[in-house]
Amino acid sequence: MSVIGVGQAVILGVVEGVTEFLPVSSTGHLKMAEGLMNIPVDDNAVVGFTAVIQTGAIAAVFVYFFTDIKRFVSAWFRGVTDKRERDNHDYKFTWWVIYATIPIVVVGLAAKPLIDGPLGSLWVVALSLIGGSVVMWCAEQMARFKRGEDQVTFKDAMIVGCSQILALLFPGFSRSGATISTALIRDLDRVAATRLSFFLGLPALTGAGLYELKDATSGGVGVPALAVGTLVSFVIAYASIAWLLKFVAKHSFNSFVIYRIVIGFVLIGLLMTNTIDS
């Protein structure tokens, strides 16, 4: 019997699509939703399902930013074959995304038993939601918004890429929250910080989804639930991306900070009253 039904997959797909790229922690929201639906959050098949439906959200990034990605890939291929093209910022940026992904891959593989075990607790999620909110608020105070996307450097990409490890080790911290906050501290403007977060997420999230596919399909989640969850995630994530880019052009991230703190304490309340299991 499948541990996740098609109806539940729809709900989780919506949660994933809405929260994957907002700085509110998709992992935290998914774990909380799973807990409320009595889905075992520490089951390998459920962990795998969560990673797989992320590929729906990441596919939305590929589609939404297709023109940009095509430009980056074209510049990379030109640079590989022609030394004169290697000063092109797009060529260098593509390499930087690749390099910046290496740390999270290494840590993810090395710490997988911890990530799937004790660090997957909903208590960790709740505290990470609140702790990550403090980081985001501090980033907003420190930000100077002096540089745009065309001024991103190798150092920026590596530091922001490494910040993804925080969300990997502490589900609830939020990958987008960590990367956007770090980019703001590096003095990138909000739109540049958000777009950099999207591009850095492409290889990391795609790789995680493919890696976890075997657990999702062999451990008790049926193909229909996987397919439905992934499709719903794609559609909702596409709309979420469009909304977020418009939002950050005119607003700070403080509303997300408040929301995260509220959700963190709500989750603590649910755990303390045994409404959901940790």
Name the pLDDT band for 162 (thresholds 50, 70, 90): very high
Q: In what helix (H) or strand (E) does residue 247 lie, and over which residues does it extend?
A: helix 223-248
132 CB contacts (<8 Å, ≥6 apart)? 23, 25, 166, 170, 172, 173, 174, 177, 178, 260
Average pLDDT over residues 50-59: 87
What number is the average pLDDT over the span 212-241?
Answer: 83
C-alpha span between 217 and 220 (Å, rounded) = 7
**Tokens of residue 69, six digits:** 């990605």
The pTM for the full model equals 0.88
Q: Residue 40: what pLDDT? A: 79
Across 220-243, average pLDDT: 91
pLDDT for position 133: 95
Give Dmax over CA atoms of the chain in angstroms. 64
Instruction: State the pLDDT confidence band at 277, using cuts at 50, 70 and 90.
Output: confident
Instruction: Residue 113: count other Cβ atoms within 10 Å of its Cβ.
Output: 9
Report pLDDT for 214.
65
pLDDT at 215 over 70: no
Q: Where do we find the tokens 């520490």?
A: 42
Q: Residues 10-35: what's their mean pLDDT?
A: 90
Please state the rounded mean pLDDT for residues 12-39: 89
Mean pLDDT of 113-139: 89
Residue 179 and residue 21 in contact, taking contact as beta carbons nearer than 8 Å? no
- Ordered by start, the domain boundaries in the chain are 6-272
Mean pLDDT value across residues 174-193: 94
What confidence score (pLDDT) does residue 126 get?
92
Share of the chain above pLDDT 90, in %: 60
Poorest-pLDDT segment among 150-164, 217-231, 263-277: 217-231
pLDDT at 213: 66
At residue 69, does pLDDT exceed 80?
A: yes
Question: Which residues are CB-neighbours of 26 under 8 A, at least 6 positions away?
Answer: 15, 16, 19, 20, 54, 57, 174, 175
> Higher pLDDT residue, 221 or 219?
221
Smallest CA-to-CA distance from 161 within 98, 218, 216, 110 is with 98
Retrieve residue 107's tokens.
Answer: 């840590």
State which H helix or E strand residue 199 sits in. Answer: helix 190-218
25 has a pLDDT exceeding 90? no
pLDDT mean across residues, the chain: 89
Whole-Å CA distances, 133 to 126, 170, 189: 11, 13, 19
Check pLDDT > 90 for residue 185. yes
CA 221 to chain centre: 22
Give the pLDDT of residue 194.
94
pLDDT of residue 216: 62
> Concatenated DSSP letters for 43-61?
-HHHHHHHHHHHHHHHHHH
* For the chain, the helix, strand and coil percentages under 3-state DSSP, each to the nearest 5: 80, 0, 20
Q: What is the rounded distance in angstroms from the CA atom of residue 86 to the CA atom of residue 100?
A: 18
pLDDT of residue 10: 95
Dihedral sign from CA coordinates of 168, 169, 172, 174: negative
